[in-house]
Amino acid sequence: MQDDDLSLFQAELRGVKPLKHDRADTGKPKTDRKQLNTLRQAATISQGEIKVDGLSDQFVIDVGAEDPLYWAGNGVQEGQMRKLKLGQIAFEGSLDLHGMSVEKARDTLWEFLAEATKLEIRCVRVTHGKAVHMDGRKPMIKSHVNTWLRQHPQVLGFTSCLAKHGGTGAVYIILKRTMMDGRDE
């Protein structure tokens, strides 16, 4: 810089205070880790109501965020489960449980499966998410869904979805159908 340019530059910067930090203020408040953990813990605690829906939380099978889910009930044909896993059975309904508490997810899943059964739907998709935690904790909703589906009387089997339908963050579920009156099959 030439002397006159330098003096002009310094004159323009007169009164300017240097920044004390190198981060921009986005206006977004920092997450309170303690409060967040408290809310997560509260989501897993039962509210004292006794549900008579057949889904037990006494023993939950912990699964990892990227673990694929697979379960076939007694008598379910291997070929049907293979087709389900390959996405060859079209799902006719879909449910997203992201962001729900465990209790809310349980109620919503139960109602969804009841409605699908009533409508004689053969295959549905449920997105439970992966909930990847840096501290190594397992995804709660995914673990609970894995446990509940094994207990549900209308579920014949389930498997993690293809990547285009949610991958290990969702499951295809094949349901029992009770033959509707007057239907020829």
Q: What is the rounded average pLDDT for all residues in the chain?
A: 82
* pLDDT at position 103 over 80: yes
Average pLDDT in the 150-171 region? 94
The predicted model gives 16-22 an average pLDDT of 79
Question: How far is residue 170's CA from residue 2's CA, in Å, rounded to a whole number?
Answer: 65
Task: Provide the pLDDT confidence category of residue 53 given band limits of 50, 70 and 90.
Answer: low
The predicted structure's pLDDT at residue 57? 61
Segment 152-168 mean pLDDT = 94
SS3 sequence of the chain: CCHHHHHHHHHHCCCCCCCCCCCCCCCCCCCCHHHHHHHHHHHHCCCCCCCCCCCCCCCCCCCCCCCCCEEECCCCCHHHHHHHHCCCCCCCEEEECCCCCHHHHHHHHHHHHHHHHHCCCCEEEEECCCCCCCCCCCCHHHHHHHHHHHHCCCEEEEEECCHHHCHHHEEEEEECCCCCCCCCC
Domain boundaries, the chain: 78-175
Q: Please determine, for residue 50, whether its predicted confidence score (pLDDT) is greater than 50.
A: no
Q: In percent, how much of the chain has pLDDT > 70?
A: 74
Give this prediction's pTM. 0.66
Give the CATH architecture of domain 78-175.
2-Layer Sandwich (3.30)
